[in-house]
Chain A
Amino acid sequence: MPDRREIDIEVMRYNPETDSEPHMQTFRVPFDEDTSVLMGLQYIKDHLDGSLTFRWSCRMAVCGSCGKMVNGVPKLSCKAFLRAYYPGKLRIEPLEHFPIVRDLAVDQTDFLEKLEAVKPWIIRKEEKPLSEGTYLQTPEEMADYQQFSSCINCLLCYSACPQYGLDNAFTGPAALSLLHRYNADSRDEGKSERMPLVNSEEGVWGCTLVGYCSEVCPKQVDPAAAVNRNKVNSTMDYFLRFLTPRGGVDS
């Protein structure tokens, strides 16, 4: 048996049925080399206090459920390990900038609405029949959007974005990355339908290039790049609208 050490985990608690504001509660948790922060929380729930509430599912850093603030930094709790914080302690809070539903679980509906608003699906003027097979797309063409398609919707970037915290009308890093993912896909022809959102105040111009979103992203999506490349697109779109009667960059 590997040696077991113990660490203090301070968690934010909030019960919507009884509390008017959150408070912190500390638990002592045994851990070893392989104990993730998520496993620490599971230990608390299983053995110390079954009412501690948090989301998780895959525990392998791909479902995007388990984001938490760990000592002030947005992290996937299944991908962070208790050993990294020892002998200090941990302070775990729900993801910043989202309303708290209960304890560490936040309300993610706002993001889901934003995702839908960017029209995250392939838009074509004419669909190719299935019998004609796949579209052709070279690896180079794929590289234009691939990194932006690897977003797991974990929302860490929203917690890293003060602009979203100050005004949540801002579409935000992940949704704009996915918008860009479709615009940059050689199979898509829907750019002109998405540009109004890009150009709007809630679109890319809400971003002041803090850049922290890309630092915390666990999947190297680099949402800041997606947003800022679209500032260029938005500017071009603006000027091109004067030049072309039907307007917009579309290809």
Chain B
Amino acid sequence: MTARNTYVRPMTGWYRRNPHFVAYMLRELTAVFLAAYAGMLLAGVIALSRGPEAYAAFQEFLASPLSVGLHVLIFIAAVYNAYTWFRISPKAMPPIKLAGKRVPDRVIVVSQFAGCAGVFIVMLLLAGGL
């Protein structure tokens, strides 16, 4: 088929057109927060290497409301990121078989969340115990 004068619609603003695309862009955006967190860690390491004063200043910064706010944001972003990836992870891995039967996608997703929650609880307990 050789159609003539076909019309190609522009893609401008495509990410706003559909809730799925908005969610996708948000997921991509979480990368910025994760990068910010990596930057923060790096700053801590550098401060440490510069001596106790520098590290104390860094600790002070960590306790500041700005930093706490930022961490809450980063935490939310990280959870959202994990959530989106967990949801699609069964698609990204070869089918897992148990006794010849394919493990349903839902089971994989749920067990990832369960695992993550478990680790989180253990960490909280550890942090509380210290």
Contact = CB atoms under 8 A, between A and B. Distances in A.
- Asked if A and B touch directly (CB within 8 angstroms), the answer is yes
Contacts, number: 80
Interface residues on B, range: 20 to 34
Contact of A72 (B8, B18, B24): B18
B7 A210 contact: no
Interface of B: 1, 3-9, 11, 14-15, 17-18, 20-21, 24, 28, 87-88, 90-95, 100, 102
Interface residues on A, range: 35 or more
A107 B6 contact: yes
B92 A229 contact: yes
A224 B91 contact: yes
A225 B3 contact: no
Contacts of A210: 20-21, 24
A166 B8 CA distance: 12
B14 A99 contact: no
Interface in A19-38: 19, 21-22
Nearest to A224: B91
Contact of B5 (A17, A108, A160, A215): A17
Contacts of B1: 101, 107-109
B42 to A, nearest CB: 27
A215 B7 contact: no
